[in-house]
Structure 1
Amino acid sequence: MSSTPLGEFTDSAALTLGVELELQLVSRRDFDLTRGATDLIGSLDYDGRYGEIKLEITESMIEISTQPQATVDGIAADLGGLRETLRHHSQRNNIGICGGGTHPFHRWPERRICPGERFDDLYQRYGYLAKQFTVFGQHIHVGCTSADDAIWLTQALGVYVPAFIALSASSPFVDGVDSFFQSARLNAVSAFPLSGQCPPLAGWADFVEHFSFLQACGIAQSIKDLYWDVRPKPEFGTVEIRVCDTPLTIEQAAALAALAQSLARWLLRTRPELQTAKQLHVARYNKFQACRYGMAAMISDPIALAQQPMQEILKALFETLADDARELGCEHWLKALRHGIADEAGDAAWLRAKQQEHGNLNDVVREATERLMPPPSKPSAENS
């Protein structure tokens, strides 16, 4: 383990996974966001076996996080257990819960900051941005066996940020209108001063020096101040992918975790040469393309000095990762992601289709709550 001003890097078993999902709390009356987080968390009778359920920055959101797991099947089981716990307690509190990267029509000035010193500090530091940060993402943690591997993987995964954005995009609506983006959520994240990408770093010692420089300049106080797209998480011994919108189903969340695990295995196994400095020149553009156009994005390659359609990139990526996914036992989880590439049948498209069907966003959110938490299946007649 490496001891630093950041604390020790807790070496983890290679490729272990953890998933965090930020979820929307909505009123069952009109399906607008509701201020229910403190009441919901306060009413929980839960033993923590599947992970954690906790407050987030405003009273209209919560975060669930799984236990560390070796397999995607384990992640899916934890997410299912957390969902069932929330189903029972949200019904008791008359609260609906749904996924999606943004709430389609809420008004950010109506949000209330959750109680707590950290949340209050964020509000005092960032002002209205803290309330506008009522957006909802999926974070995926991948375990690393050493601090140097974590820094290497942080940079290597940065190239694939647009792919994770396109595959998870579920935030087309903002302030009651179609934003024309597939993922509008990340525009809120980009407003924070330390958002963006990891700079070129040779290893953990370089990262410590870089972070110490930020501390000395008064820019960052802790690792949580780094809103990087991919960042190391020393206390967990992981690398954290932070660009995914919260999907509309836990199955999609598990599939994205399968992509992260398979990709990390392939990267660590093959060790492609890093071109972090060159990638930084196109990173913001490629991120915009993925947010704006999703599967239809054109991604710039600073090595080949060319652009390539996102669909072609994803098809090639899934072919590349097939053997690693098979070795990890998560190949079946990637099939759903692959199906969505050709027909662009992702969550953003589903939300737009529901808006066209209903002609209002209230019913879109209503159906989204039913999609995240479908009613428990009833026993068949012959079994009853």
Structure 2
Amino acid sequence: MKFEKFDDGNHFTIGVELELRILDKYKLSLQNEYDYIFSNINDKYKKNLASEFLGSMVEINTPIFHYEKDLIDFLKEIISDMNGVVKKKNLNLQTSGTYAQENSNTKVNSCDRYEKLYNEHQILLDNFSICGTHVHVGFEDFDKALKAYNYSLYYLPLFVALSASSVFFNNTDSGIHSYRTKIFDRLPKASIPDYFDSYDEMKAVYDLLYENKVINSTKDIWWDVRIQPHFRTLEFRVCDAVNDFDRLEVIIALFKAICQLSQIEELTKMPMQVLKQNMWSATRYSMSGSMITKDGLISIRELLNNLIDKAYEKSFLSKEMSHRAKKIVLEKSISEQMIEVYNRTESLKEVERLGVFE
């Protein structure tokens, strides 16, 4: 396993991994049709698709971009092409943190890695129909990425709140706005990681796990945020998947902004119990949650507005992007919209429909 210190990366580039579900057009039931999509999509996009744990899922991996708009335009293009393919077979593409209806017709992809994962984790991976958004931010060297890694730990709950879209799961109202987060937390190599003071300290953890056959590569660590030396990026893995391109663009811009802020601001470490409590609040209540700060309890909306203002003052957000971000902060979270739809219709199918890419 290689976990090397790099010094030849890119300066704040961005990329995204977005996980989607493949559903029947009418019932919105899970369909194991990844192979069909991959076989029929335009050849120029094949390198941007990957299979996921379940055959009813597909992952889009974007190229590297410098600007959020270009990345979003790419996602719109590839999803449009995929939509052309799936509609020929009466399928829909959809995404949200969890699948709201009954998790029937789930099939683990035939792959050594996924089969080993299932054998290891057993019931924890049953009904693992969850989708996330992973955002990569490029760094010139490892030490700068490590600064951003440590700095970002406190801010991760804000992004859970912005993306929360998983209150319903397997025909059940979980009462938790980002239930996907709690499903993933059950896994031993997931959740909020520790602070690290140096490359050597982080490498020692990876080496210890590798030498004792707990991991085979850096891909086997599923922390909410992790440094990826292979890609020379900091990878944020904390977000539920969303199909709202405007919201996604704001999320990407804010991830990039905290990476930039990390290079000029002093780090204030918070106790792990505080980090966990703040994550719980965002997971449970999304945008209506609050977080513990050194100045007391502050609402997530206020903290987001403070972050937006700080990033704008330092020219890490444009005026237009800061206005768009503040508009989303005022809106209901996706999970809150899901609750409203269910209360009005009493239909999980209508909840599911919110995540369909038209």
TM-score bracket relative to the smaller structure: over 0.9
Residue-by-residue CA offset, 1:151-185 (whole Å, 9 max, x unaligned): 22111111101100011111111122322211111
Matching of residue 339 in structure 1 with residue 327 in structure 2: yes
Aligned length: 358
Stretch of structure 1 that moved more, 254-263 or 192-201: 192-201
3-state SS in 2 of match to 1:236: coil
Structure 1, gaps ≥5 residues long: 374-384
Matching of residue 72 in structure 1 with residue 64 in structure 2: no
Residue-by-residue CA offset, 1:107-133 (whole Å, 9 max, x unaligned): 26x410112222222122222323433
Distance 2:154 2:351 in 1: 33
Distance 2:234 2:58 in 1: 22
Tell me by how many angstroms 1:257 deviates.
0.5
Which residue identity does 1:295 align to in structure 2?
M
Equivalent residue for 1:28? 25
Q: Which of the numbers 286, 298, 321 marks the counterpart of 2:290? A: 298
Q: Which of the numbers 346, 349, 372 marks the counterpart of 2:336? A: 349
Equivalent residue for 1:62? 58
Tell me by how many angstroms 1:319 deviates.
1.0
Which residue identity does 2:41 align to in structure 1?
L
Which residue identity does 1:155 align to in structure 2?
N
Tell me by how many angstroms 1:320 deviates.
0.8
Q: Which of the numbers 122, 127, 141 marks the counterpart of 2:122? A: 127
Structure 2, gaps ≥5 residues long: none
Contact 1:111 1:131 in 2 (8 A): no
Matching of residue 279 in structure 1 with residue 271 in structure 2: yes
Contact 1:11 1:147 in 2 (8 A): no
Q: Which of the numbers 36, 41, 44 marks the counterpart of 1:39? A: 36
Distance 1:335 1:55 in 2: 36
Percent identity over the alignment is: 22
Residue-by-residue CA offset, 1:204-246 (whole Å, 9 max, x unaligned): 2221122112223333222112111110011100001111111
Q: Residues 1-384 of structure 1 correspond to what in structure 2 (within 5 A)?
A: 5-7=2-4, 9=6, 11-48=8-45, 52-107=48-103, 110-268=105-263, 270-275=264-269, 278-301=270-293, 303-304=294-295, 306-324=296-314, 326-327=315-316, 329=318, 331-342=319-330, 344-369=331-356, 372-373=357-358
Contact 2:308 2:325 in 1 (8 A): no
Distance 1:128 1:95 in 2: 29
Tell me by how many angstroms 1:7 deviates.
4.8
Distance 2:171 2:68 in 1: 35
3-state SS in 2 of match to 1:242: strand
Distance 2:116 2:4 in 1: 22
- Could you say if the C-alpha distance between residues 332 and 87 of structure 1 is closer, same or farther in structure 2, counting changes exceeding 3 Å? farther
Distance 1:135 1:201 in 2: 29
Distance 1:334 1:115 in 2: 44
Distance 2:2 2:352 in 1: 44
Distance 1:290 1:231 in 2: 20
Equivalent residue for 1:382? none
Residue-by-residue CA offset, 1:92-117 (whole Å, 9 max, x unaligned): 23211112111111326x41011222
Distance 2:333 2:286 in 1: 9
Distance 2:303 2:195 in 1: 24
Distance 2:272 2:110 in 1: 37
- TM-score, scaled relative to structure 2: 0.93
Distance 1:131 1:60 in 2: 14
Cα RMSD for the two superposed structures: 2.1
Contact 2:165 2:178 in 1 (8 A): yes
3-state SS in 1 of match to 2:284: helix
- TM-score, scaled relative to structure 1: 0.87
Residue-by-residue CA offset, 1:330-382 (whole Å, 9 max, x unaligned): x534434322323x41211222222233331113323431xx32xxxxxxxxx
Distance 1:364 1:181 in 2: 15
Distance 1:334 1:167 in 2: 15
Contact 1:170 1:245 in 2 (8 A): yes
Tell me by how many angstroms 1:81 deviates.
1.3
